[in-house]
Amino acid sequence: MDIVLITTVIASLFLVIGVAEPLAAKLRLPYSVILAGLGVLIGAAATFFLRTELTDALNPVAEAILGLPIRSNVFLYVFLPTLLFQATLGMNLRRMLDDWVPILVLAVVAVVVAMLSVGYALAWASALPLATCLLIGAIVSTTDPSAVVSIFRSISAPRRLARIIEGESLLNDAAAIALFGLFMSFVMLGVPDPSLGDALGRFPLLIAGGALTGWVAARVAVWVMALFSRHELAQISISVALPYLAYIGAEQSIGASGVIAVVSAGLTLNLTGPGRLPPVAWSNLREVWDLLAHWAGALIFILAALLIPRLLEEVRTEDFVLVGVVILAAIAARAVILFGLLPLLTLLRASPAVERPYRIAILWGGLRGAITLALALAVTESFRVPVETKRVVGILATGFTLFTLVFQGTTLRNVIAWLGLDRLSPIDQALSRQVIAVALQTVREDVARTTENYELTREIVRSEAKRFGERLDAAVKSAEDRAEILDRDRITLGLIALAGHERDTIITRVRERTISARMAEQVLSDADRLIEGARSGGRSGYMRAARRSVAYGRVFRAVVMLHSRLGISVRLARMTADRFELLLSKRLILRDLGTFIDGRIRRIHGKRVADLLHELLSRRVEAVETSLEGLRLQYPGYAEKLERRFIRRTALRLEEREYMAMREDGLIGLEVYTSLMNGLAARRAAAEHRPRLDIAPQRAELVRRFPLFADLDDARVKRLGRALVTRYVNMGDVIIRKDSAAKSVFFIASGAVELQSAGQTWRLGRGEMFGQMAILMQKPRRAEVRAIAPSTLLVLDEERFRRLLKRSEALRQAVRASAEKRGIDPDALQSGAPRVA
């Protein structure tokens, strides 16, 4: 075929892609529906002009369109890795991990349920072999959530819901394609009724092999990309090669799932890339992948749609019945997941509650598209698949896809409107008014500066200012309308605005490189949790998210346990340094929020709401300072190193700004500017390097800060430091339970705890101890101790505590004072026959 003609056709397809998006927006239809419709029209028109005798002038073009080398391997090896890889790069994985249970369960279970439902329904309604029926079930179980997700975003649906749908769809596609490969092998081998247990037994091997291959490939790629830190185009080029090499390596080398390998590689790069690559390079890399995925997604839809007329050429009357069976079985399977499994996960607190209208919208928005058609095409092209099987698979997959696109896709917005999801809730309406008021206040300040700079005529400025002021006063009055919004909701709106400003501040700091790229994803994820927590739970939801942002995670505490028991310190050193940097970044950000409360929040919501927000902000600052204090005590000097690094990075940013201003003003030429920026880049690379943390806690120094050990000599202090074990607890954690065996004594290095016994409550803080009474009384513990702040504790076992008590007068006096405070006779306590008051 003429290369000029092929190039013309492909260029024309890109023209169609450019036209499809604005056309979809104008018609208010999903983008994928427009692409599929245009593809079908092009394919049908090419077939018509080629077979009709009306004109022969368009025959070469029609032949070029129908003769395009569209094969299933083009979809599976060229387009599919691009789509899956970009989807993983575009995810906020830290937020996805918050909901990994519903995402994983919904993805895997949804695929298996849909495959079994469609497979056994077809086996019952037709004479097809079970293997073929299950293969069709695997093909049609892939979903395209783009339509429903885009609509959810446009109607301000909960972000968490959209994330679950996106994550579930990504893993759904990966699992479905892996199962497709499994049952495709049965069909090609002529196994009519495979054992379901044997089939599913091979499934974990496909998943594990693909995941391992993708992880290894991504780690190697990140290592190579880090070596080319000053060559951005080289880094992007390596990222383009990564998904294809992972896909081919898994499929051809070890017989695992290439799709799972691509997903694993993308997730690994998403987690490790921001910390290893420069922020600008990472941002540009993601922009390149967004463009590649946009083209790949559009082309796969158009090219697959071109094949629809060909796939439907041999349709028979009885095929319509089977298409109906597939439609009913697939919708029923989806309904079981959404209205059976999802509420069950909500009851088990493993998934957020999803309201019924949203579940109906998700059910009707489960469109199928290009991946379904590509898998069906792979079956029709295989010479090892029986001819009748090819025909049935092609027709059923194509018919089901057309149903979802034509009927569900075109009516999805109407269903959304019928469910009332396109109407703003009262709190969202109030939030929109607040946003307008805040925006107009900012505009007024900017306009005032602009008029001063340009020395405009006073009469013009005065008249325009009066006109704008009237609009601003109306907006502020509307935002302050207390008749329409409860005080509780006003607090919620203030918290949402505060969390939104916090997120904007973080983005600004990241752009200025005063917050490192390593920390950017985590602090942004924490800010998103604050916004969602405030929207869903008001003040309590906001504070839960705030406490979580400074809490010791399960992984961190597991790493601490590995270090204390096995001496593995590399991972703990990295995570501790990350925590240091995270807390310092949060402290920097939180100190900037008070001005926003006094300026914007107070003007819109009044003094009472502003004062309450100040109180909540002060609690967050206190929690951050408490957590930071615990680390400072254990690793003195490291926080100062990070602060010096912050100052150096800030100075470099200001220096860069000055050079740019001089260049724009014409004070320096291009050569001088380039030389200055090259030198600045070298200094910035050195400043980006985070100082190494010596994980060995300076416990001797820490012990000396306890008044309890003031009379110990240096040798005993060092021995005590080696004997103490560090334990981290979060706010609300139970440290000691009532009636538990007494085995250890706890010393508070930072934070605070609350002790409850016999209806009385005591609070203990830094430098105090607890747990000693039950040991000395030789009785089960009578008190329950709970942390009331993120705390760092030093734990000493019973034998060492008794030896220490004999040698330290200060410790004995502290024990006596504690006993008297709790109503216990100190003399009876030490004699071993205590008398409890």
Q: How far is CA 433 from the centre of its chain?
A: 29
692-723 pLDDT tens trace:
777 655 666 777 777 777 777 777 777 787 78
Distance CA 341, CA 337 (A): 5
Measured distance between the N- and C-terminal CA atoms of the chain, rounded to whole angstroms: 100
**59, two tokens:** 């025959």
Number of helices (H), then strands (E), in the chain: 38, 8
Confidence of residue 836 (pLDDT cuts 50, 70, 90): very low
Confidence of residue 639 (pLDDT cuts 50, 70, 90): confident
Q: Provide mean pLDDT across the span 44-50.
A: 74
Fill in the amino acid letter for 653. R
pTM (two decimals): 0.68
Q: Provide mean pLDDT across the span 400-416.
A: 80
Distance CA 573, CA 569 (A): 6
Question: Do the strands 753-757 and 784-787 form a parallel or antiparallel pair, or are they unpaired?
Answer: antiparallel
Under a CB-based contact definition with an 8 Å cutoff, are residues 400 and 372 in contact?
Answer: yes
Confidence of residue 283 (pLDDT cuts 50, 70, 90): confident
Q: How many residues does the chain have?
A: 837
User: Of 352, 334, 365, 323, which is closest to residue 152 (Cα–Cα)?
Assistant: 365
75-120 pLDDT tens trace:
777 887 888 888 788 777 766 776 777 777 777 788 888 889 998 9
567 or 795, which is more confident: 795
DSSP symbol at 191: -
Distance CA 9, CA 37 (A): 18
Give me the pLDDT at residue 831, please: 43
- Of all residues in the chain, the percent with pLDDT exceeding 90 is 3
Confidence of residue 837 (pLDDT cuts 50, 70, 90): very low
143-171 pLDDT tens trace:
766 655 666 665 556 666 677 777 777 77
Distance CA 833, CA 552 (A): 40
Give me the pLDDT at residue 833, please: 38
User: Of 516, 533, 493, 660, which is closest to residue 578 (Cα–Cα)?
Assistant: 516
Sequence-separated (6 or more) residues with CB below 8 Å from residue 552: 728, 729, 730, 790
Most confident of the following: 426-430, 515-519, 571-575: 571-575
Fill in the amino acid letter for 318. E
Q: Provide mean pLDDT across the span 348-363.
A: 77
Q: What is the mean pLDDT of the chain?
A: 78
Element (H, E) at 504: helix 487-511
Give me the pLDDT at residue 338, please: 83
Distance CA 234, CA 188 (A): 42
Give me the pLDDT at residue 835, please: 36
